[in-house]
Chain A
Amino acid sequence: MSTGPNETAAPTPERPRPGASSASAPRVRHLRAHVVIVVWLALALITATTQHTLPVAHWLAIHLFLLGAVTTAIMVWTEHFAVAMLHAPPPDPRWGGVRLIALNVSAVAVLTGVAVDWPVLAGVGTLGVVAAIIGHVAALVRLGRGALGGRLAPVVGYYRLAGVALIAGAVLGGLLATGALGEAGRTGVELAHIHVNLLGWVGLPIVGTLFMLWPTVLGVRMEDRTVPVARRVLWLTGLGLLLAVPALLLGARWPAVAGLAVYAVGVGWASALFLRTVLRRAPRSGASWMLAAATCWLVVGVVADLGLMATRELSHLDPALHGLLPVLLIGFVGQTLLGALTYLLPVVLSGGPTDRAALADLLDWGWRTRLVVLNAGVLLLFLPLPAPVGAVGFGAAAAAFAAFLGLAAAALVRSREGAVTGGAGGAAAWRAPLAGAGIGVLLIVFALVAAGLPAGTTSGGGGSGTAATGTRTVEVELKGMAVSPSRIEVAPGTVLRLEVVNRDTQRHDLRVEDGPRTPMLGEGESHLLEVGPIAADLEAWCTVPGHRAAGMSMTIAVTGSADGGAESEPGHGHASPDGLDPAAEHSDGWEPRSAVLPPAEEARVHEVELRAVEADIEVAPGVSQRMWTFGGTAPGPTLRGKVGDVFEVTLVNDAEMGHGIDFHAGALAPDEPMRTIGPGERLVYRFTAERAGAWLYHCSTPSMLQHIGNGMYGAVIIDPPDLEQADREYVLVSSQLYLGEPGSEGQVAKMREGRPDAWVFNGGAGQYAAAPLAARAEERVRFWVVAAGPSDGIAFHIVGTVFDSVYKEGAHLVRPDDPGGAQVLDLAAAQGGYVEAVFPEPGHYALVDHDMRRAEAGAHGIVKVTP
């Protein structure tokens, strides 16, 4: 063998097998594999062009392309090139066939499992993909053992590493596809999945192969420094991925950026080498131009990805990355596939030089036009142009692909005939089963489509009214502050499923009254909601604050029901447990929220982590209410310090909607520290408490009425410098309580009209009547009070005592040695202060809001004074 660049692309000779025609066996295998690749590509193309009609189609098209076509192609070609580059004897073709079949069957299982929403099948398919790739990596490793090892043997390292990347990527994908993850870690897993698959499994083999393929296609000798560069680029890209992917998983943005930057340096280095090769001889063939353009798109894609990641929080990255997908999927991956196949198919499928030239001619047909149309299409998709332009771009790219598919199919048919006539029945033996399998698969695909695979076929306003009892699936779109259809009519008893798709850039969800709710859905995400049998009319709405009020609601009406008319029955359904029962008992295991205020810590810097999280809290005897909280309690934890202390508060948003935080105790510009952060994000809020007082902190996200009203508030106590020691200290945060589904129309209306269901101290109606605060006779007890609102203040009074100390909003109004006394600490919403009382003798002293409406509706408690 010569050591020219062409060696590697030549088909490697096979050891003859008994009973098989020796010359055509590898050719037939290539033929079969490429038929499969072409079929996957065709399915991907069909799905992508019809994607506006099917909700899962976007996902499906991408995975038909990457998991079906590209993964099969990579598996076939990396093994082929590895044999050539290592000068190794070819591995047992039967096992190679088994791996390919396992991969393809598993891919079908994954795609079907996700499409028909059957997670078990998707999970089994994922395991199959992983098993096939483990076999593939093992085969690559085995090839390297005892092989002579050509000059380009290091490139095989790219293939092995890529296999490992796919194993990781497939496992992550499986977690996503089977829904094994909750909502919490999804963003990180998605980002890691995308990056490890696209840059690892797909990117590494392409870059590695180009070291050999690029000069081969150009018809020049390799650069002398190719091998050392290939080695270094492998290290850089490998290390970059090794840093970036775990960082993305963990949500650590800057390490991810660093990893991606290292990867980009590797790609840049390789590209520089490729560029030097071009300078010696310009590309002339279709294959070379396509590979060149694809490499350019890779550089654009990686750099753009790096830029996006460096300028955006990870949780906001996903929608932006979707804009980048056309560049990477069509411009880079797809075009590489086109270019490589244009060059390689004639090499591996031809029976001789004339045949090869004819096949090459066939595949080169019209390449200039196709090249320009394809890349213009990608450019249109990449640039931030209005939607119709993007559609034109997609159409152009799709047309270029379809043209290539036609040519490739023609080439395959042609060479199959050649293989049949020339190759003594080897191919003919496979032709019939292959055709049969094709017919079978087509039948299944049609059956799945007919079965309503994405189940969206009865979208639109519903109201056909003819559906018999049974299951009915309706596609529901969230878009433009509306739910469409806004009304669905079903026969009584119909089992209803809603295929909810968010077509909006904002996040939304859909909650069915007394029923299930979707998770918060990002743009393009969908969720299947099993509503179950419908017996009575129901409302469904988006729970993001304000969105329901803006019109994001729908009616599920039972046909023939009394109020089945066109009116949308306001008020129906959000029947909150109005009217608290004062005689009710707290549930077993209920614990009061401790009112004891410990002294300030000595440390001058207070580091606090507050997690915004939704929690069900017993807010009144026997009444549980979903609250939005800082740290799982409403009010959130009380912070205490001295004048001059620094508070470094890390807000982590574990909730499904955006939240922020605002500390009244510190002064700084609201823009940055009080900004709203999305789910999964964190924010550090650092302030110096320059002044003493009893301060409020609360959520800073609009609607603040709703965020505070749903529990996102707490107290910060900054001791006045001359604060005397008291025997006991309690903190009481007063607020209004609004029952009902947070953010629902009914609850928000009550907030707007100032009609709370109760007034509470520390979040619980009457909780200190059920669990009195303790004190001893003659003790000096200090009560810190903060009025959290959201709207009402408080007239704080303790029955049977006289306050000899009143500190309100930064000033001592009464001191113990003053002749005057006080009966009430009056605070407007968001004000704070303290009072002190000395309890004269044992007994039960009621603490109340002396606005008696409020005292009777929850704002009361007992101080139990013992001897």
Chain B
Amino acid sequence: MTGVDLWTIVRFVHILGAALWVGGQLALSLVILPLARRMLSAEAREGFVGAAGRRFGLLTVALFVPVQVATGVALAWRAGVTWESLAAPGYGRVLAAKLVLFAAVMLLAAAHGWAHGRGRRDLARALAVAALVGSLGVVLLATALSGA
């Protein structure tokens, strides 16, 4: 097991978490929800979509966010990132942008849950797509970071 240290595992968990979350959103919105729309009756669909959304939301809050934040902070600490260095162009600026975008995506996802609960379907869909696209942006910035 030479070469695999604790930090490799932390980075693995961080990337795995991001992949699962973005992948989960993609699977929900590209596979499961369209199928539900086509194959279920209006009532069953309503219930199913709501339940799927709640389950994914719960997973996000209980597992995904804590894991991402914890591993992310640890990785940043290890990389010697300081508050000032976040303002510096290059790595720092990209990381800061990624963090802000991540926060925005989380807000959008939360707003989506709220809108869905209020029965505002259009708004909820718009927010869901925005969160999905935004999270792709987070991944994009993360890849830019690993190249920097």
Contact = CB atoms under 8 A, between A and B. Distances in A.
Contact of A451 (B80, B132, B144): B144
A497 B98 contact: no
Interface in A456-472: 457-458, 466-472
B20 interface: no
Given A432-B125, A468-B85, A473-B89, A118 B147 contact: yes
A602 B91 CA distance: 66
A699 B82 CA distance: 55
Given A432-B123, A444-B140, A470 B90 contact: yes
A450 B92 CA distance: 11
A440 B136 CA distance: 9
Given A433-B129, A471-B90, A447 B123 contact: no
Contact of B82 (A112, A447, A455, A468): A468
Contact of A112 (B101, B125, B140, B147): B140
B125 A471 contact: no
B131 interface: yes
Contacts of B10: none
A497 B90 contact: yes
A435 B96 CA distance: 26
A826 B126 CA distance: 89
Contacts of A467: 84, 88
A447 B141 contact: yes
Chain B interface size band reads 35 or more
Q: What is the predominant secondary structure among interface residues of chain B facing chain A?
A: helix
B133 A440 contact: yes
B97 interface: yes
A431 B144 CA distance: 31
A451 B85 contact: no
A441 interface: yes
B5 interface: no
A436 interface: yes
B128 A470 contact: no
A437 interface: yes
B88 A470 contact: yes
Nearest to A438: B130
Interface string B15-27: 0000000000000
Interface string A479-507: 00000000000000001010000000000
A437 B133 contact: yes
Interface string A95-121: 000000000000000001000101001
Given A468-B84, A471-B90, A471-B148, A443 B130 contact: yes
Given A437-B130, A440-B130, A469-B80, A447 B100 contact: yes
Contacts of B81: 470
Contacts of B121: 432
Nearest to A441: B133
Most buried by A among B85, B132, B141, B148: B148
Contact of A437 (B89, B90, B129): B129
Nearest to B124: A432
Contact of B90 (A432, A440, A472): A472
Contacts of B85: 468-470
Interface in B38-59: none
A447 B98 contact: yes
Contact of A455 (B90, B96, B100, B143): B90
Nearest to B120: A432
A450 B101 CA distance: 10
B93 A450 contact: yes
Contacts of B123: 432
A840 B77 CA distance: 81
Interface in A326-360: none
B97 A448 contact: yes
A497 B91 CA distance: 11
A432 B143 contact: no
A116 B140 CA distance: 10
A20 interface: no
B126 A436 contact: yes
B80 A440 contact: no
Given A443-B137, A450-B97, A118 B92 contact: no
9 contacts: A433-B129, A439-B126, A439-B134, A440-B134, A444-B101, A447-B141, A450-B97, A457-B89, A470-B88
Counting from the closest, the 6 A-B pairs by CB-CB distance are A440-B133, A436-B129, A471-B90, A444-B137, A451-B97, A436-B126
Given A437-B129, A447-B141, A451-B97, 20 more contacts: A432-B129, A436-B131, A436-B132, A437-B133, A439-B108, A440-B130, A440-B132, A440-B137, A441-B133, A443-B104, A443-B137, A444-B140, A447-B100, A447-B101, A450-B97, A451-B93, A451-B94, A452-B94, A458-B89, A471-B91
Interface of B: 80-82, 84-85, 88-94, 96-98, 100-101, 104-105, 108, 121-123, 125-134, 136-137, 140-141, 143-144, 147-148
